[in-house]
Structure formats: C-alpha cells, structure tokens
Structure 1
Amino acid sequence: MFTARRSPVPPHQAGGLRRASEFKMPPSTRPLTQDERRHRALEEQKSASYERINAARNIDSMAFLSLGNEDEEDEDRKRNRRRKNRRYADVCMFAELLELQTEHDGLPHNLETGWVALAPIPVGKRCLAVTYSGKDYRTSTQLFSRLKGARFLKFPSPLPMNSILDCVLDANWEVNGIIHVLDILRWHGKDFTDCEANFRFWWRDSRISEITPLPPSPSMEFDFASMAQAEREIPLTFQYPYVFLPVPYYTPPISMEMFLTTVIPAAKMTRSFEVKLPPALPSTSWAGRALQTGIATDGLLLYVSEASYQSGETPLSTWVPTKPLEGGLSNPVTLDLFEA
C-alpha cells in the first residue's frame, strides 16, 4: 500500500483553482430552520393549490396539448402500471420531529392561533384504510403500510365505499378491536386533501360518529382459560379491527397555559376507552357487554391549521414523542421537556 503524493500548487495558481472550484459548487447557505422550512412548504402548498384551481378552469390548457407517438404511449402505460403497484406508498402525512437545536427552533411562535393539536397519539402501526366494494356489494376495508404501501389486512367495515383514512392500527387491536383515525383523505368519493386541517378533523369526527360498528364474525373465539388466569375479561383475538376511534384534537386558540395544563397531560396519559362488545358473540355471557381498555400513548402531533393534507414527510406537521427514539438525537425532544 502506498499513498500518492500531490505536487504542490504554485502560489500564483492557487487562487485561480480555488475560485474555479467555488464556481462549480452551489452557493453555501446556512441550513433552513424548521420554522423556515414550514413557511416555505406552506407557500408551495398554496401555490400548487392555485395552479390546480386554474387547471380545473381550463386556463392554459392548450399549452399541454400534444399528439404524441406510440412509443410515448407505451412508456405512459408502463409508468401507470408501476404507479398503480405503489399507489399507496408514502401517502400518509408524516410529521417531522420537533427540533430544539438552535434558538430559532422549538414550539411555533403562532401556536395559539395557527395550530391544531392531536393527543394522545396511540402506539401502533401507521397505515391507510381504503374501502372497496366487494363481490357481495358489501364494503371491505384494506389496510396499506405507510412506507411501502403494502396491503397487510382486509376486513368488512361500516365505512362508506371509496373512502381513504389515515390511521394507526392499535398495537393491541387483536385484544381491543380498535383502529385509530388520525386524518381523512377521502370520504364516499369526496376528496378532502385540499381542505384545511381544522375542517378535516371536524368532518372526520362528525362522519365517524354516524357509522354503526360492523359486528365481528360469529366464529370469533375467546380463550376463557387465559382470561381466568389473568383474572380479567379480555378476548383472545378479534379477527379484524372492530371500532374506528378518532384521535382527540384541540383547535385554536391554544394558549400556552392550555398547552401545558391540558394538551401535554393528555398526550402523556394512557387513554381509557370502553369497547362495547357486539351482541353476535358466540358466548351469551359476553354478548352486549363492555370491555374497558387502556390505550398506550406515543406522544403529540401538531398540524398547521391552514395547511392541506401533504403526503410524505413534511414540516407542516410536528411530532413530540413520549420517549427518546432509538438511534435518535443526543439531546432528544420529548414531552417531558414541557412542564406546567
């Protein structure tokens, strides 16, 4: 092994080489703060919305007309097939971790007037719930993973056809039958991704409150021996999520006092919820009874109230976890940093 020695650059050429290298490099700028990235993302979102409105009005539509050729059409068909295979990949609006690395980071300065808070965020698997019409004309719901868009669960549900919900499948869904609803992208064919966060969460709660849970299959089994050993009334397995449960949200104004005394404690607390067991259960002793369950918390989500739904990771939503992430920052931001 050896290392080649570089010939020294004559002093009279050094300045020219340095200027040449700098000319080829992009101008150096300081990294944008989270607040600056957020502002830029919101402006880009507004600009894109304006362009979509113009396109819907057929403004400048002639500029996009072209005859094309067969090769281009073949490429379009191939591209469409690839897009269909991953149509639900990275569609969920994924929040950035709240940053406190510089004096410009931290809680948004307009927290009181410009943000919506969701708390507590449940522990579980982030996914999209998409509804289809089945062969028997009943609506079936399919769950797709957040990152790769892979389908991992299919079941009957009371949701209307042609709906898409941003959800968290509870970590103990086989025990409590719960799937949590974070956000709404589409409901019964009507798209809500261009709507502001305030309206989306209101619509989410108003519509989900109207649906009647679809009873699980009568073939559901219960492990009464295990329940006796644990001395608690917990069914062994739900075949599919039974209850669509919206995550609580808080709308502006959210004063700092309210944030510290109401929102943060709610984000830290295990949420208690009563699941009403369906009357179609095989055991008459369990039919119509209720199951008290505790929902573990994973932290707090903040959404820019005037922002529309943005797929992928975005500064328009911010996450404050309950505990440090594995392999995360050396000085992690958690809910414990905020005390009344």
Structure 2
Amino acid sequence: MGDELDALTSQLSSGFQVDPAALGEHPRYSQFKNLSKAAEQQAKRREETLERQKNGRFDKMMKLRNLAFDDTTSDEEDADGFVEVKSKAACKKNKFGRYADKLMLSEWLVDIPDSLSTEWTMVMAPTGKRCLVVASRGYTTSYNKAGRQLGQFQSRLPGGNSRSKNQSWTILDCIYANQVYHVLDVLTWNAHEFAENPYDFRQFMLKSKLDEQPELATPTAGFR
C-alpha cells in the first residue's frame, strides 16, 4: 500500500509541471495593447479637433465683433514689441479692406445640375447694389463689395440706434435698390453669430427675427 502511494505521489509530482511558454506574454496581448493605444490616440485627436473647432468659432466671433465695432488702430505692435506706425493713406486702405470680400457673391450656372430641384436653393433678388449692413455703436452703416462706405443712418436693427448702441451689433448681407435694403442673409443678429450655421437655419432665424420686428420694413422719422 505504501509503495502504491509513493508511486502515485511520484506521478503527480512529475506530471504537475508548468509549461515555461505559459509564463511569457500572451501572443494576443500586443494586439490588445495596440488597440488600447489606438483608442487613446483617437480620443486625443477628437479632443484636439473639438478644441480647434471651439477656437475657430471664437476667432470667427471676434472677427465679426471687430468688424462691427471697428476695433482697429493706426499703429500695430508685432510679436517682438515693435510698433509699426502707418500713414493715414495706409490706415484708410486698411479700413476699406476689412469690410471687403465679406459677401458670398452669386455665380452664373454654366450647366444646370441634375440635383437643382432637390439640393439647391433659389432666392429671388432685385437688381441693385450688393452691400454689407453693419449696425453697431448706435449707427447703421452700409458698405459695398470693395469695403467702401455707401451710407450711414439710424435704424431699428439691434445696435443700429442710440438706444442700443452699447448693447449689441448686427451684420446683414443685403441688396440696396430704390432706397430699400433687401436682406439676403444674416451673419450676426443682436450679438448672436450665425455665419457658421447652415443656410436653411440662417434663413429661418432671419425670417423669425424680421417677423418679430415688422416695424423694420417701415421707415419713420429718424429711422430707416
């Protein structure tokens, strides 16, 4: 009996051996490790993309705000702290330039696309002068495509009269014809920026805002 137990113990001792290969790294471990690293990199890229979009929206908003409030100076300081003094002619050219090329201009269709009735939006527009209307600091000013001032007046647009000069600003894409400004698009309304929104949404907001203020369509003493 004792011999049998000794033999059984010997068999168990010899059979209970761990394969040295089992102590090493699992062959699929590197795949899981790479997947985890890829997921971290993707999350990082997503965060960087969102941050760029956030900064881009902020920069766009600041540009429109500067456009409305004309936050420019005749002297500019560079990264090294040196101040560049500009002539009056250069400053005047700069001022015109900052209002130029802000309009989305129409183009002639050489060929009619197949998706014209489903994916395109057609807008009727009168014959007149395309202009950018900026209401801020208590005045409403219109600029042509080259950035030159066409006129300045008081209006009921947010920011365009003395009652709202310190509260807001509005920027509109218009056509001026027969002493009437026909609004095509809205870039900013009451300090809310819409330039980055889809066209359909901008048109919805524009119609809503104009419907809320029907008096905008009727010129009265002191307002246009």
TM-score range for the pair, normalised by the shorter chain length: 0.5 to 0.7
Contact kept, 8 Å, 1:116 with 1:197, in 2: the verdict is no
* 1:89 correspondence with 2:100: yes
Is 1:126–1:168's contact at 8 Å kept on the other side of the alignment? yes
Query: C-alpha distance in 1, partners of 2:137/2:123?
Result: 31
The aligned residue for residue 22 of structure 2 is none
- In 2, are the aligned partners of 1:166 and 1:182 still within 8 Å (CA)? yes
Between structure 1 and structure 2, the one with the greater Rg is 2
* Structure 1 position 55 matched with structure 2 position 75: no
Query: In structure 1, what is the equivalent of residue 123 of structure 2?
Result: 118
Which structure carries more helix by proportion?
2
Q: Tell me which amino acid in the other structure corresponds to 1:129.
A: V
Of residues 81, 85, 98, the one that matches 1:70 is: 81
Q: Secondary structure at 1:207's aligned position in 2?
A: helix
Structure 2 match to 1:7:
none
Counterpart of 1:160 in structure 2 is 158
Please show how residues 163-242 of structure 1 align to structure 2 within 5 Å: 163-170=170-177, 172-173=178-179, 178-211=180-213, 212-213=215-216, 215-217=219-221, 242=224
Query: When you count strand as a share of all residues, which structure comes out higher?
Result: 1
Q: How many residues align?
A: 142
- In structure 1, runs of 5+ residues without a counterpart are 1-48, 59-66, 100-105, 135-139, 219-239, 243-340
Aligned partner of 2:120: which letter?
A: W
- Report if the CA contact (8 A) 1:131-1:163 is conserved: yes
1:122-141 alignment runs, 5 A limit: 122-134=126-138, 140-141=139-140
- Take 2:147 and 2:50, find their aligned partners in 1: how far apart are those partners? 29
Amino acid in structure 2 at the alignment position of 1:166: D
Q: CA deviation at 1:108?
A: 2.4
From the superposition, tell whether residues 86 and 57 of structure 1 become closer, same or farther in structure 2 (CA, over 3 Å). Answer: closer
Counterpart in the other structure of 1:142: 141
- Once residues 83 and 51 of structure 1 are traced to their aligned partners in structure 2, the CA distance between those partners, rounded to angstroms, is 31
Letter in 2 for 1:116: T
Deviations 1:186-230 (A, max 9, x none): 111111111111111111111011112364338xxxxxxxxxxxx
Aligned runs of 1:238-253 on 2, under 5 Å? Answer: 242=224
- Give CA deviations for 1:271-297 in whole Å, capped at 9, x if unaligned: xxxxxxxxxxxxxxxxxxxxxxxxxxx
Structure 2 residue ranges without an equivalent (≥5): 1-48, 59-77, 160-168
Of the three residues 80, 84, 108, the one matched with 2:113 is: 108
- For residues 98-148 of structure 1, the C-alpha deviation after alignment (integer angstroms, 9 at most, x for no partner) is 11xxxxxx12232233221102x10111101110233xxxxx2111111x2
Verify the 8 A CA contact 2:129 2:175 in the aligned structure 1. yes
Q: Which amino acid aligns with 2:203?
A: F
What TM-score, normalized to structure 2? 0.55
User: Aligned partners of 2:51 and 2:102: how far apart in 1?
Assistant: 21
SS at 1:164 equivalent: strand
User: For 2:148 and 2:200, how far apart are their aligned partners in 1?
Assistant: 29
Distance 1:51 1:89, change over 3 A: farther
**Residue 144 of structure 2 aligns to which amino acid in structure 1?**
S
Greater RCO (CA < 8 Å, at least 6 residues apart) = 1
Identity %: 34
Alignment partners' CA distance in 2, 1:180 and 1:215: 13
Cα separation, partners in 2 of 1:144 and 1:52, compared to 1, 3 Å: farther
The root-mean-square deviation of aligned C-alpha atoms, in Å, is 3.1
